[in-house]
Structure 1
Amino acid sequence: MVTLAFSTNAYTRSSLPEAVRRIADHGYAGVELLGDDPHAYFPDFGDGDREALLEALSETDLAVSNINANTAMGYYDDAPPSAFFEPTIIRADDEAREWRIAYTKRAIDLAEAVGSPAVCLATGRPLPGTPPEAAREYLRDSLHEILDYAEPRDVEVGIEYEPELLIENTDEVLELIDEIGRNSLGINLDVGHAAVYGEDVPESIHASAGSITGIHLEDIVGGRRGKHYHRIPGEGDLDFREIFDALADIGYDGFATLELYTYPDEPDHAARDAMAELEPFL
């Protein structure tokens, strides 16, 4: 049976412990932790922050569904208000790439500390001067180092694909998993990303059976080839009955996490309405 969780990345106006408590108020069984500023940006996330988080999790009895380490906006002093993937694990610059690998290891440390089954990671885009074939070599090497660190800690790594990234669709991520050949590597399947790329979402779910480390849920206006803007379920064109039926078909019994970072001014409204919309499908 699928269990609903909600990501703290909708609550960027709140501290991480407060975000956990507010999510619990809306009836979710799980919470995804944003591994970035302003919640758990690892260079600044100390022992006191971890203890405050563990206290909030204990109080609320929420399970952690995932550590979302896709972005690292805290790396920048003047980052504009948009999602940053840089620096990535496919950067040609050794120092920047190694920084990102180390950052991902800190996400794995947090996953181990809070009992999260997985962390998710995006590949980023190949930058000018780094053709895709070279970026893919950096990706392979980086992932093996990350997985060497994750496996003894019993944490899975889910690649989250997205249009225009090096790994941008279901076929590419499944090919990568086969190429790497390690059971600890899987897919953090974002249904909106699949839809925006033009995939049939239930088909993507069926194709990914056995490789899913987590699910991200949001609605998309336009469905296939729509615009990439995360909306509350019921406010777009995705068929969530089909999505939950597909998850049942493959026997998926993990977390499905609402990722509604597009509602920083009204996260409680987003959490409440998303729960009301999706609860009948569970």
Structure 2
Amino acid sequence: MVKLAFSTNAYTRFDLPEAVRRIGRHGYDGVELLGDEPHAFFPWFGDDDLADVREALDETGLSVSNVNANTATGYYDDAPPSSFFDPTIVTGDEDDRVWRVEYTKRAIDLASAVGAPAVCVATGRPLPGTPPERAHEYLRESLDEILDYAESEGVDVGIEYEPELLVECTDEVLELIDDVGRDSLGVNLDVGHAAVYGEDPAEAVRRCAGHITGVHLEDIVGGRRGKHYHRIPGEGDLDFGAIFDALDDVGYDGFATLELYTYPDEPDRAAERSREVLERYVD
């Protein structure tokens, strides 16, 4: 049966242990750890930080659903908001690409240390001067190294597709998984991203059967081809009954994680209300 988790990326006004403790008060089975500022930004995340997180996990009894390494905003001091994916694993700058590969390995270290089954990674966008075909070459090279490391640690890697990124839809992520041909690579399926791209989220679940490392949940106003703004379930137009039916149909028994970073001013309300709306599908 699917289990519900909540991401700490809604709790960016709190440190990571406090975010875990607050999520633990709302009846979730799991918690996703944000692998970025202000939580686990890996160049500064040390042994003491890990010990504090483990203590919070022990206190709450929460399992870790995923380590979210989609962004690395701490890399730049002065980047515009649109650069939160950069540097990516497809960037043309070799030094930056190597940095991001190593950063992803540190996310895998954290996942291994706290018993998380997977990390998620977004491809980001090809920057000017790097055509998509070249970006795909960089992506394969980066993934080869990341997956070698992940397999040694017993952690899966889920590509999270998103409209306007190099890998932006179900077709493209499945093609990538097939081309790479390694069991440790799958998809962290964000149902809102599928909807905004114009896909039926429940159908995306069925198409990704056997490759889902994790699921991100949020509501979207407008449903398919709606606006990409993460909302509390019930405040948009997605059919969560159909989505959970699809997860049951494909035999998915992992975590479905609420990703509501859009509620930094009221994360507790977002966590509580989301569980109230969705618990009918998991109890």
Residue matched to 1:118:
118
2:200 corresponds in structure 1 to 200
Mapped partners of 2:17, 2:57: distance in 1 = 8
| TM-score, normalization by structure 2 | 0.99
Per-residue displacement from partner, 1:88-107 (whole Å, max 9, x unpaired)? 00011110000000000000
AA in 1 matched with 2:263:
Y
In structure 1, the partner of 2:97 is 97
1:99-248 equivalences under 5 Å are 99-248=99-248
3-state SS of paired residue (1:245): helix
2:274 matches 1:274: yes
Deviates more, 1:74-83 or 1:62-71: 74-83
Corresponding residue SS for 1:9: helix
Question: What is the CA-CA distance between 1:76 and the residue it aligns to?
Answer: 1.3
Instruction: State the SS of the aligned residue for 1:189.
Output: strand
Tell me the distance in 1 between the aligned counterparts of 2:5 and 2:274: 11
Shift of 1:230: 0.1
Equivalence for 1:84: 84
The CA deviation at 1:281 is 1.2
Q: Note the C-alpha offset of 1:78.
A: 2.7
SS of the residue corresponding to residue 213 of structure 2 reads strand
Identity of aligned residues (%): 75
| Secondary structure of the corresponding residue to residue 182 of structure 1 | coil
State the distance in 2 between where 1:223 and 1:36 align. 29
Query: Residue 43 of structure 1 aligns to a residue in which SS?
Result: coil
3-state SS of 2:12 partner: coil
With over 3 angstroms needed to count, the CA separation of the structure-2 counterparts of 1:271 and 1:80, relative to structure 1, is farther
Kindly indicate whether residue 49 of structure 2 is the aligned counterpart of residue 35 of structure 1: no
- SS class of match (1:120): strand
Counterpart for residue 56 of structure 1: 56
Which structure 2 residue ranges, 5 or more long, are not aligned? none
2: CA distance between counterparts of 1:46 and 1:201? Answer: 38
Q: Distance in 1 between matches of 2:165 and 2:102?
A: 21
Give the aligned length.
282
Aligned residues of 1:71 and 1:83 also touching (Cα < 8 A): no
Structure 1 CA distance, aligned partners of 2:8 and 2:25?
13
Name the SS for the 2:161 alignment partner.
coil
Larger mean CA deviation between 191-200 and 74-83 belongs to: 74-83
CA RMSD, aligned part only? 0.8
Q: Which residue identity lines up with residue 228 of structure 1 in the other structure?
A: H
Specify the code of the residue in structure 2 equivalent to 1:35: G
Q: 1:81 Cα deviation (Å)?
A: 5.0
Measured after TM superposition, the shift of residue 80 of structure 1 is: 4.6
Alignment check: 8 A CA contact 1:162 1:169 kept: yes
Q: What is the DSSP-based 3-state SS (H/G/I as helix, E as strand, rest coil) of the residue aligned with 1:215?
A: strand
Of 44-53 and 80-89, more deviation after overlay is shown by 80-89
- Show structure 1 runs of 5+ residues with no match: none
> Counterpart of 1:65?
65
Whole-angstrom CA distance in 2 between matches of 1:82 and 1:270: 24
Give, in angstroms, the shift of residue 256 of structure 1.
0.1
